[in-house]
């Protein structure tokens, strides 16, 4: 992956297993994608589909019980292969993460200003005075009121919305080329949520970052994403531009997610919910993991590997009812990875 290609991150055949004495859980099963600078990929799916664990694997933050395979290439380096000392240099500078709950992500015994300044000193090699000045500028940039005063606040002294803004400031402190956002608005009320989304989108465009934005909220995904990847049981079942996936949703799971909203539902009318629950990931089914919950399932769905069908220039669907791409496995894999015609 060259810098000239404009590709910020390239993930190929990423798989994650958690091994314990009792069983093995197949959390992520061979996902691939490439993301260009300035592009936002929204990863949409229910809790337990493998979204957050994917981001933590990209940051090398999973526990020792996790077995990770595949490639995650950022700036010419495979993050899964470099030594930990090199990964410590890349975290924050090349790749950074906004965690779902900033109250547990921040250290409670240090002030917000100290934690942001420490990150700047670690990666930029500047003086503490310059780092504190940079921390102040970052808090002002993320629109925290009375920013100078907030530098001396501990995490518990700030509201949820301000903590999330401070977490964004921390993540952006060293101007990373790739930002991973793990449901950063889940714990916030609707008004603050929209403010954070607009702020993130503004900063992303201003800095030209690539962003992987994980969410289970359809409205949030549509608000921030250029492309969507719908994830189920550790696999991408439908990918494409946001417009393609929303207007031409093809996979039954994607259709179920889009229909599971209050929009257009009359008072007293039953919601169009997806029946059943996500599978326990202790086994890898030969066929489609969604088949037990799918009203359109056929015998072939549980017995044969799911083909990849192309519905548009960058719109790919993994479903037996959609047909499949003809050609070699390499052609299919490259199509999924690049997100456009090959």
Residue 164 belongs to a domain: no
Which of 205-219, 239-253, 257-271, 311-325 bottoms out in mean pLDDT, i.e. has the lowest?
Answer: 257-271
How do residues 276-291 score in pLDDT, each as one tens digit? 888 888 888 888 999 9
Q: What are phi and psi of 265, to 5 degrees?
A: -90, 125
Domain count, the chain: 1
pLDDT at position 330, please? Answer: 34
Res 324 pLDDT > 80:
no
CA distance 185 to 172: 17
**157 domain-assigned:** no
User: What's the CATH code of the domain at 324?
Assistant: 3.40.50.300
Beta strands (DSSP E) in 205-275 are 210-215, 227-232, 235-241
Q: Say if 203 falls within a structural domain.
A: yes
3-class DSSP state of 86: helix
Residue 249 belongs to a domain:
yes
User: In this structure, is residue 109 part of a structural domain?
Assistant: no
pLDDT in tens, 99-136: 888 888 899 999 999 999 999 999 888 999 999 999 99
Helix (H) or strand (E) segment spanning residue 164: helix 160-171
C-alpha radius of gyration, the chain, whole number: 21
**Residue 331 resides in a domain:** yes
Does any domain span residue 255?
A: yes
26 phi/psi in degrees, rounded to 5: -95, 90
* Full residue range of the structural domain in which residue 277 is found: 3-94+176-264+272-338
pLDDT at 262 over 70: no
Buried b (16+ CB within 10 A) or exposed e, 297-336: beeebeeeebbbbbbbebbbbbbbbbebeeeeeeebeebb
Looking at residue 186, what is its pLDDT?
76
Nearest Cα residue to 204 out of 90, 37, 4 = 37
75 in Cβ contact with 176 (< 8 Å): no
Supply the pLDDT for residue 259.
Answer: 85
Q: Is residue 57 part of a domain?
A: yes
Please check whether residue 80 is in contact with residue 53, taking contact to mean a CB–CB distance below 8 angstroms: no
Rounded CA-CA distance 4/7 in Å is: 8
Task: Quote the pLDDT of residue 192.
Answer: 82
Sequence length of the chain is 342
Q: What is the pLDDT of residues 141-152, one digit of tens each?
A: 898 999 999 999
Using a pLDDT cut of 70, give the percent of the chain over it.
91
pLDDT digits (tens, 9 = 90+) for 41-76: 999 999 889 999 999 999 999 999 999 999 999 988
């Amino acid at each position: 992956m060259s810098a000239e290609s404009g590709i910020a991150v390239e993930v190929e055949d990423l798989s994650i297993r958690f091994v314990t004495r009792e069983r093995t859980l197949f959390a992520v099963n061979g996902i691939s994608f490439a993301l260009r600078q300035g592009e936002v990929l929204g990863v949409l799916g229910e809790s337990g589909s493998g979204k957050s664990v994917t981001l933590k694997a990209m940051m090398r933050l999973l526990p020792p019980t996790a077995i990770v395979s595949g490639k995650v290439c950022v700036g010419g380096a495979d993050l899964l292969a470099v030594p930990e000392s090199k990964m410590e240099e890349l975290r924050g500078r090349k790749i950074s993460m906004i965690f779902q709950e900033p109250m547990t992500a921040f250290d409670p015994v240090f002030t917000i200003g100290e934690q942001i300044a420490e990150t700047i000193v670690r990666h930029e090699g500047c003086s503490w005075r310059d780092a504190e000045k940079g921390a102040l500028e970052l808090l002002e940039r993320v629109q925290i009121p009375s920013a100078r005063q907030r530098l001396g606040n501990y995490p518990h002294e700030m509201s949820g919305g301000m903590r999330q803004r401070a977490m964004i400031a921390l993540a952006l402190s060293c101007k990373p080329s790739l930002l991973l956002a793990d449901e950063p608005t889940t714990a916030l009320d609707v008004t603050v949520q929209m403010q954070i989304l607009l702020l993130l989108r503004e900063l992303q465009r201003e800095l030209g970052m690539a962003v992987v934005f994980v969410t289970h909220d359809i409205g949030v995904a549509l608000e921030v994403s250029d492309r969507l990847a719908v994830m189920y049981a550790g696999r991408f079942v439908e990918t494409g531009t946001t417009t393609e996936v929303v207007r031409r949703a093809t996979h039954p799971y994607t259709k179920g997610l889009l229909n599971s909203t209050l929009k257009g539902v009359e008072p007293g009318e039953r919601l169009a919910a997806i029946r059943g629950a996500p599978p326990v990931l202790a086994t890898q089914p030969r066929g489609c993991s969604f088949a037990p919950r799918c009203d359109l399932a056929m015998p072939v769905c549980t017995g044969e590997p799911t083909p990849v069908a192309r519905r548009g220039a960058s719109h790919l669907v993994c479903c037996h009812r959609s047909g499949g791409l003809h050609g070699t496995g390499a052609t299919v894999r490259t199509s999924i990875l690049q997100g456009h015609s090959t």
